[in-house]
Amino acid sequence: MIRDLSATLEAVLTQPGLPTELAGAQIAFDRPTEPFNPPQTTVDLFLYDVRENVELRDNEPIRRHTSIGRVTISPPPLRVACSYLVTAWPVGGPDLALQEHRLLSQVLQLLSRFPTIPASFLVGGLVNQEPPLPMVTAQTDALKNPAEFWTAIGNRLRASLSLTVTVSMPALDPVETGVVSTMLTTYDVAGARELRVEIGGRVVDLAAKPIADALVDVVNAGLRTRTDADGHYRFDSIPAGPVSVRVVAVGFQPKTQVVIVPGRSEDYEITLTPL
């Protein structure tokens, strides 16, 4: 994952249309210890810190429907902040210090354009990663004491800027299980106990493809809803016991199905036949 991030940053810094100096520089990820003498003009990104971003920590699992009555549950990923020290190392020509400053300016201007890394640059395990990868450039508290940092890696103080990107790293493997289709809630009202049942199901065609915007009625409870884009429907509170669920959708034969509440996931799956 971290290697993919470095390759992604290299793609950002080598994209077409860059200023001449930056376009001609090689991108390296070396530790800039003494002596560090690249053979050609180089922009170096040294990964110096990797830690969890606790402010972005999320305890809510990620659910994705995979098939009828099945769902993949993934534990929330770790949000890992990877921090790079970016330095410029010009080679040849006059005024090396000014060349260094110009390179750093071009890198700063380029990276500051992206609050998150555009999807077109992502490689490997970062492709299609959600949420998008936030990128913070030149933050003020990245290195609290730059002089101590450069002494620690065995080199002299040098102009630099920080770059921090937060990636999502899976902590545990996803688990496939049945869709949660029933939730029971018991209330005590004036000494009497009242049971409410929430159910969820899906409407599909004979090829198991979801049917969106189907009208779903619980006939003997006077309840009505419509399916979403994935064919799912839900009722927040219906009576326990046998209920008649009627489904009507454009291009399909209406169907009434008796289901027992509470029941299993497959009890709430309704298949319609085309007209």
Say if residue 170 is in the same domain as residue 190: no
* 90 Cβ neighbours under 8 A, 6+ residues apart: 21, 41, 96, 99, 100, 103
Taking only the tens place, the pLDDT of each residue in 64-73 is: 666 545 566 6
Q: Which domain holds residue 225?
A: 181-271
Taking only the tens place, the pLDDT of each residue in 158-199 is: 889 999 999 988 776 665 554 545 555 555 555 666 566 777
Domain boundary, last residue among 154, 175, 196: 175
Say if residue 27 is in the same domain as residue 54: yes
**56 has a pLDDT exceeding 80:** no
| Domains of the chain: total | 2
Question: What proportion of the chain, given as a percentage, has pLDDT over 90?
Answer: 42
Say if residue 154 is in the same domain as residue 171: yes
Say if residue 151 is in the same domain as residue 207: no
Q: What confidence tier does 93 reach under pLDDT thresholds 50, 70, 90?
A: confident
| pLDDT at res. 180 | 47
Q: Which of 136, 125, 123 is nearest to 14 (CA)?
A: 123
| pLDDT at res. 87 | 93
Worst-scoring range by mean pLDDT, 15-19, 111-115, 129-133, 254-258?
Answer: 129-133
Mean pLDDT of all residues in the chain?
Answer: 83
Say if residue 161 is in the same domain as residue 190: no
Say if residue 55 is in the same domain as residue 131: yes
Say if residue 159 is in the same domain as residue 239: no
CATH code for the domain in which residue 237 is found:
2.60.40.1120
Q: What confidence tier does 61 reach under pLDDT thresholds 50, 70, 90?
A: low
**210 has a pLDDT exceeding 60:** yes
Say if residue 24 is in the same domain as residue 130: yes
Q: Which of 265, 74, 67, 266 is nearest to 180 (CA)?
A: 265
Cis peptide before 262 (omega within 30 of 0): yes
Domain boundary, last residue among 175, 210, 226: 175
Q: Which of 64, 63, 62, 65 is nearest to 210 (CA)?
A: 65
**Radius of gyration of the chain, Cα coordinates, nearest whole angstrom:** 29
Domain boundary, last residue among 175, 197, 213: 175
